[in-house]
């Protein structure tokens, strides 16, 4: 087994062709996810979390230009041929979307949909695939799985549908599971159950997880490490305990400030609102993108873009926060 990261993203940039010209959505993002590790990616809406995640799974539309490197167990995915991508997508890198209904087919039973993944990717027979589908439904905590396997998506509640999506995602024992706000569309009471499923899967299957969320409770509950994104860039990354105790980027510190008990109750703590808007990236290539909103900006902040320095706790900032915050 390799000792390096399972997923290694280096200088990933994504630009969309739009009617108003190119739109830079992700700018030189670097991330690493170790074996069995849960990396949380947090940040306000529009900061590039989903675009980053989709580029890892090869799910971006044709209007996107992707640069940089995404390596899965040392295999380069950016620019890889269709066959390589097809064998990886859904099998070695699986994706759970925010809205399960949009990704389940309404005209097939859930058993058939999970079974198809197994038939296509692993070559199981129809019967074996059905048997395995029942096992997977049990694994994700669906009661009476033997009966539920013949249900159509509309017969299931939102929470149960999300469990089906997770069952489908882990059907082929992926190396990396990407969960993009997996609980955001669900009621708070149901969210906790879904998080329990993710936690159990990670413990039982040892799957590495990239967890996108804006819920700090979820982060503290599940993540080993956190990458904070702002305006298409990673501005800080650290071990989860370190980040909560000693946030160094003024943006992170601002996000955490209004969540005194973040981490104790999943589903109840949202990121703090910070005054101002997330800027358009290309507008200020040689400045810190947070400068307009930053309470501790210096002259250099609008003249030169800060970059992440290597290390365990990385921050891209000319004037980082140094005092620990109360959590
Ligand atoms: N298909 C697309 N075409 C053009 N722009 C897009 C597309 N998808 C996302 N974007 C833009 O990319 C930026 C990042 O979006 P996204 O990754 O979805 O943010 P979030 O952090 O909320 O997941 C946003 O400005 C968004 O409008
Ligand atoms: S680089 Fe400057 S403007 Fe940007 S976050 Fe740090 S202190 Fe604030
Ligand atoms: Mg998103």
- The 10s digit of each residue's pLDDT in 101-158 is 677 899 999 999 999 999 988 899 999 999 999 999 999 999 999 999 999 999 999 8
CA 45 / ligand 3 centre spacing (Å): 6
**Judgement on whether residues 225 and 278 belong to the same structural domain of the protein:** yes
Q: Does the beta carbon of 250 sit less than 6 angstroms from any atom of ligand 2?
A: yes
CA 314 / ligand 2 centre spacing (Å): 14
Residue nearest to atom 2 of ligand 1 (CA): 16
State residue 317's pLDDT score.
97
- For residues 233 and 218, the model is more confident at 233
Residue nearest to atom 3 of ligand 1 (CA): 16
> Which of 32-46, 149-163, 190-204 shows the lowest per-residue confidence on average (mean pLDDT)?
190-204
Q: Does the beta carbon of 294 sit less than 6 angstroms from any atom of ligand 2?
A: yes
CA 255 / ligand 2 centre spacing (Å): 15
Q: Which domain holds residue 234?
A: 34-60+175-315
**Judgement on whether residues 163 and 231 belong to the same structural domain of the protein:** no
User: In the chain, how many H helices and how many E strands?
Assistant: 11, 11
State residue 129's pLDDT score.
96
**Judgement on whether residues 180 and 51 belong to the same structural domain of the protein:** yes
Q: Is residue 72 part of a domain?
A: no
> Which of 59-68, 176-185, 187-196 shows the lowest per-residue confidence on average (mean pLDDT)?
187-196
Q: What is the pLDDT of residues 230-279, one digit of tens each?
A: 999 999 999 999 999 999 999 999 888 755 544 444 444 455 666 666 66
State residue 273's pLDDT score.
64
Nearest to 220 by CA among 197, 186, 195: 195
Residue range 161-167: mean pLDDT, rounded: 91
**Judgement on whether residues 141 and 272 belong to the same structural domain of the protein:** no
**Judgement on whether residues 188 and 43 belong to the same structural domain of the protein:** yes
Q: Give the C-alpha separation, 88 to 56, whole Å.
A: 10
Domain holding 210: CATH number? 3.40.50.300
CA 280 / ligand 3 centre spacing (Å): 16
**Judgement on whether residues 243 and 129 belong to the same structural domain of the protein:** no
In sequence order, the 6+-apart residues with CB closer than 8 A to the CB of 130 are 111, 115, 149
CA 181 / ligand 3 centre spacing (Å): 7
Q: Write the Ramachandran bin of 103: left for phi over 0, alpha for psi from -120 to 50, otherwise beta.
A: alpha
**Tally of domains in the chain:** 2
Residue nearest to atom 14 of ligand 1 (CA): 48
Q: Is residue 211 part of a domain?
A: yes
Widest distance between CA atoms in the chain: 67
> Which of 12-21, 82-91, 224-233 shows the lowest per-residue confidence on average (mean pLDDT)?
82-91
Place of tokens 């859930």: 110
State residue 34's pLDDT score.
94
**Judgement on whether residues 155 and 292 belong to the same structural domain of the protein:** no
Atom of ligand 1 nearest to the CA of 51: 17
pTM above 0.85, yes or no: yes
Alpha helices in 38-157 (DSSP H): 49-56, 82-88, 100-103, 110-122, 126-139, 145-148
End-of-domain residue from the set 116, 148, 171: 171
CA 3 / ligand 1 centre spacing (Å): 33
Buried b or exposed e, range 67-86, using 16+ CB within 10 angstroms:
ebebbbeeeebbebeeeeee
The mean predicted confidence, pLDDT, of the chain is 87
Residue range 54-70: mean pLDDT, rounded: 92
**Judgement on whether residues 56 and 186 belong to the same structural domain of the protein:** yes
State residue 283's pLDDT score.
53
State residue 3's pLDDT score.
66
State residue 272's pLDDT score.
60
**Judgement on whether residues 151 and 214 belong to the same structural domain of the protein:** no
Alpha helices in 18-92 (DSSP H): 49-56, 82-88
Q: Is residue 75 part of a domain?
A: no
End-of-domain residue from the set 156, 171, 186: 171
Residue range 25-53: mean pLDDT, rounded: 93
Q: Is residue 290 part of a domain?
A: yes
Residue nearest to atom 1 of ligand 2 (CA): 317
Q: What is the pLDDT of residues 283-312, one digit of tens each?
A: 557 899 999 899 999 999 999 999 998 889
State residue 326's pLDDT score.
53
**Residue 76: strand pairing partners:** 71
Alpha helices in 188-314 (DSSP H): 188-205, 216-222, 240-245, 250-257
**Judgement on whether residues 150 and 183 belong to the same structural domain of the protein:** no
Place of tokens 């105790």: 245
Atom of ligand 1 nearest to the CA of 52: 17
Q: Give the C-alpha separation, 24 to 6, whole Å.
A: 27
Residue range 81-107: mean pLDDT, rounded: 82
Q: Is residue 88 part of a domain?
A: no
Residue range 54-60: mean pLDDT, rounded: 88
**Judgement on whether residues 217 and 136 belong to the same structural domain of the protein:** no
Q: Does the beta carbon of 254 sit less than 6 angstroms from any atom of ligand 2?
A: no
Nearest to 271 by CA among 217, 326, 195, 192: 217
State residue 303's pLDDT score.
93
Q: Is residue 243 part of a domain?
A: yes
Which 8-state DSSP code applies to residue 291? G
Q: Is residue 90 part of a domain?
A: no
End-of-domain residue from the set 113, 142, 171: 171
- For residues 31 and 257, the model is more confident at 31
Q: Is residue 69 part of a domain?
A: no
- For residues 3 and 203, the model is more confident at 203
Residue nearest to atom 1 of ligand 1 (CA): 61
pLDDT surpasses 60 at 56: yes
**Judgement on whether residues 179 and 304 belong to the same structural domain of the protein:** yes
Give the binding-site residues of ligand 1, using a 6 Å CB cut-off.
Answer: 16, 18, 23, 25, 43, 45-51, 61, 63
Ligand 2: residue of 252, 291, 302, 314 to mutate (most ligand atoms within 8 A of CB) is 291
């Amino acid at each position: 087994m390799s000792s390096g990261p399972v997923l290694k993203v280096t200088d990933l940039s994504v630009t969309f062709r739009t009617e108003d010209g190119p739109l830079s959505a992700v700018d030189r993002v670097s991330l690493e996810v170790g074996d069995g590790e849960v990396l949380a990616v947090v940040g306000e809406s529009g900061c590039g979390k989903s675009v980053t995640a989709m580029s890892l799974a090869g799910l971006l539309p044709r209007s996107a230009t992707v640069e940089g490197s995404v390596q899965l167990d040392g295999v380069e995915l950016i620019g890889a041929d269709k066959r390589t991508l097809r064998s990886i997508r859904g099998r070695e890198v699986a994706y759970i979307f925010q809205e399960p209904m949009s990704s389940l087919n309404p005209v097939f039973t859930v058993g058939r949909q999970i079974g198809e993944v197994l038939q296509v990717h692993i070559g199981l027979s129809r019967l074996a695939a059905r048997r395995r589908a029942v096992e997977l439904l049990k694994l994700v905590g669906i009661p009476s799985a033997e009966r539920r396997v013949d249900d159509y998506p509309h017969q299931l509640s939102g929470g149960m549908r999300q469990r089906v999506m997770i069952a489908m995602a882990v059907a082929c024992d992926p190396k990396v599971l990407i969960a993009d706000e997996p609980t955001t569309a669900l009621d708070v009471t149901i969210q906790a159950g879904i998080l329990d499923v993710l936690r159990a899967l990670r413990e039982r299957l040892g799957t590495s997880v990239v967890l996108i969320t804006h819920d700090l409770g979820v982060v503290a509950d599940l993540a080993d490490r956190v990458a904070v994104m702002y305006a298409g860039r990673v501005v800080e990354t650290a071990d989860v305990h370190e980040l909560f105790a000693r946030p160094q980027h003024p943006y992170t510190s601002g996000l955490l400030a209004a969540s005194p008990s973040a981490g104790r109750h999943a589903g109840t703590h949202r990121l703090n609102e910070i005054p101002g808007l997330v800027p358009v990236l290309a507008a200020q290539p040689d400045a810190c993108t947070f400068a307009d909103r930053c309470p501790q900006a210096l002259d250099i902040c609008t003249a030169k873009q800060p970059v992440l320095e290597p290390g365990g706790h990385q921050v891209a900032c000319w004037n980082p926060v140094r005092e620990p915050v109360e959590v």
